[in-house]
Amino acid sequence: MEKKNNRKILWKIIAAFALILVLVGCGNGSGSNTDGETASKEDLTIRVGSKDFTEGLILSEFYSLALEEAGYNVERAFNLGSPVIHGALTNDEIDMYPEYTGTGLLSVLQLPMESDPKAVYETVKTEYEEQFDLVWLDYSEVNNSQGLVITTEKSEELDIMTISDLQENASEINFASQGEFDVREDGIPGLEEVYGEFDWNSSAIYDNSLKYQVLSNGEADVAPAYTTEGQLVQDEFTLLEDDQQFWPPYNAAPVIHANLVEEHPEIAEVLNNLSAQLNSENITELNARVDIEHEEYEDVAQEFFDSLDR
């Protein structure tokens, strides 16, 4: 009788352990079921992450809308900080998010700067697959690179349209620095290696969030910027051309777990079609609607998504 009871207890333990394995297996976004078979799109939930700034939110909402329209379940994991989002992907906390080729090259892979968009893309695509088992889908024409913005008034006064023009007229320019930009390799030190010394009339440090206010108030003439910031749609600001191509490209693209693309190739088709219709001009206008006109990013993304060819 004792042996029989022990046998019953053993079978209960085995059954409980098997149930735990099933529950764990069902809780991921791997695209496979517990038998190792590919899950149908109805059974699959794709966890889309986003960074914590307007453009990142809009792009991630685009991805989410496109996947939902294609019949996939989507779980949004938005507003993740830039320093942690890559780790969230490699740790299988999310399945995909929009990344920038330049960020992948410099911040994640820590490789030397490169100015050719295709070369940068091929490098990050190859290295991510080899190191992390992640796939870069097609990159878009959205290029959220670093740049320098000048007040249009000062640009017209001194005929400054390029960074070379700016360097030649630096002695008449008040520069709104952000501190770190003065010492970073991809800031003033790197710029001066390519363009020559910037002998500013004055340079003062301001918080990045205040730079357009500082320029608008006449406290400074030039500031570091990102090239798809919404404020750049305003006539009072002019983005200078990086005529010596110092900064690497920062083209936006979906980065996703390789097994998801292998098991559901339709995901790549859907997202590549979306990326083909995005560019710096339209994303800058969408950023402006959120950051300047104070519309909700979900509404802005939905309206624009509805206008796309699918």
pLDDT digits (tens, 9 = 90+) for 232-261: 999 999 999 999 999 999 999 999 999 999
Give the residue-averaged pLDDT of 257-277.
98
pLDDT band at 13 (very low <50, low <70, confident <90, very high): very low
Question: Could you give the angle at the alpha carbon of 169 between the alpha carbons of 163 and 172, nearest 5°?
Answer: 125
Question: Which of 209, 239, 269 is the last residue in one of the domains?
Answer: 239
What are 183's two structure tokens? 């010492």
Element spanning 50, H or E: strand 45-51
Range 91-97 average pLDDT:
98
Looking up tokens 């051309």, which residue turns up? Answer: 241
Give the mean model confidence (pLDDT) for residues 73-84. Answer: 96
pLDDT exceeds cutoff 80 at 32: no
Nearest Cα residue to 256 out of 29, 27, 82: 29
User: CA 191, CA 187: separation in Å to the nearest integer?
Assistant: 6
CATH of residue 129's domain is: 3.40.190.10
Average pLDDT over residues 147-151: 98
- How many domains are there within the chain? 2
Residue 37 pLDDT: 64
Domain-embedded: residue 203? yes
Given a cut of 70, is residue 112 above it in pLDDT? yes
Cα–Cα distance, 47 to 67 (Å, whole number): 11
CA atoms within 13 A on the CB side of 81: 2
pLDDT band, very low/low/confident/very high, at 38 (cuts 50, 70, 90): confident
pLDDT of residue 36: 54
Same domain, yes or no, for 95 and 154? no
pLDDT recorded at residue 184: 87
In this predicted structure, the answer to whether residue 133 has a pLDDT above a threshold of 90 is: yes
User: 258 and 138 in one domain?
Assistant: yes
Q: 85 and 127: one domain?
A: yes
- Phi, psi torsion values for 297, nearest 5 degrees: -60, -30
Q: Is the pLDDT of residue 75 over 60?
A: yes
Residue 153's CATH number: 3.40.190.120
What domain range is 264 assigned to?
41-143+252-307
List, for residues 185-223, the tens digit of each pLDDT value: 889 999 999 999 999 999 999 999 999 999 999 999 999
Residues 127 and 51 in one domain: yes
